[in-house]
Amino acid sequence: MKAHTRETQATMTPQKALDFLKEGNQRFQNNLKANRNLLEQVNDTSEGQFPFATILSCIDSRVSAELVFDQGLGDIFSVRIAGNFVNEDILGSMEFACKLAGTKVIVVLGHTSCGAIKGACDDAKLGNLTKMLEKIKPAVKAVSEPTDSSLRNSSNLEFVNNVADKNVLLTIDRIMDESPVLAEMQNKGEIKIVGAMYDIHTGEVTFHE
């Protein structure tokens, strides 16, 4: 499989870009990786890059976007931060990726058993991590069940995963609210902004569309 070029990127629609990611995750689950010469892709992308997707994911070592979507060099912009939330810098990076570099889909990718989500559920305190986790706590508050406070912590994985899922949706809301550039592109059909969850036990990505 060759690296994307200006011509192949130009043929991409938001839906086609999303389908490419879905197909790649299916290959990953079946351990049927596309045939790529990565060194050839290094050479092919040395004078320019034409990725088709931007993935915002967690720093978790088990959730590499390039691997779980079976993509090669020059295929995707990968933005990684614990808890896959957005701030001004990440929004600016996404605006560059879509408006200037031509990607057609933004995927906010959460995952099960997320350590950052667990930290927010437990109200963890540690240096700069304390302020970082504050950005995830709206998702904790937004998940109403269970009401028993003894079950609203990292020992309840169902609660953790529901918070992770809600965090994805709230992150998309923030993208739309805080980036007029990306909101306009989505409203015009130039890009799709979608949420997804990665299951660390199966390798499956489930999309919210």
CA dihedral 93, 94, 97, 100 (to 10 degrees): -90
Structure confidence at residue 166 as a pLDDT band (50, 70, 90)? very high
Please give the Cα distance from 121 to 153 (Å, whole number): 5
Residue 9 has pLDDT above 90, yes or no: no
Contact of 190 with 17, CB cutoff 8 Å: no
Q: Side chain identity at 14, as an amino acid letter?
A: P
- What is the average pLDDT across 165-191? 98
The number of angstroms, rounded, from the C-alpha of 166 to the middle of its chain's C-alpha atoms is 14
Average pLDDT, rounded, for the chain? 94
pLDDT value, residue 84:
97
pLDDT value, residue 44:
74
- If you search the block for the tokens 């995927």, which residue do you land on? 107
Secondary-structure percent of the chain, ordered helix, strand, coil, rounded to 5: 45, 15, 40
The secondary structure of 42-71, three-state, reads: HHHCCCCCCCCEEEEECCCCCCCHHHHCCC
Structure confidence at residue 47 as a pLDDT band (50, 70, 90)? confident
Identify the structural domains of the chain with CATH numbers, from first to last: 6-208 (3.40.1050.10)
pLDDT value, residue 50:
85
pLDDT value, residue 42:
84
Contact of 168 with 195, CB cutoff 8 Å: yes
Structure confidence at residue 41 as a pLDDT band (50, 70, 90)? confident
Question: 46-60, 89-103, 128-142: which range is least confident on average?
Answer: 46-60
Residue 87 has pLDDT above 90, yes or no: yes
136-151 confidence digits (pLDDT tens): 999 999 999 999 999 9
106-120 confidence digits (pLDDT tens): 999 999 999 999 999
The phi-psi region of residue 3 (left if phi > 0; otherwise alpha if psi is between -120 and 50; otherwise beta) is beta
* Collapsed DSSP state (helix, strand, coil) of residue 148: coil
pLDDT value, residue 46:
80
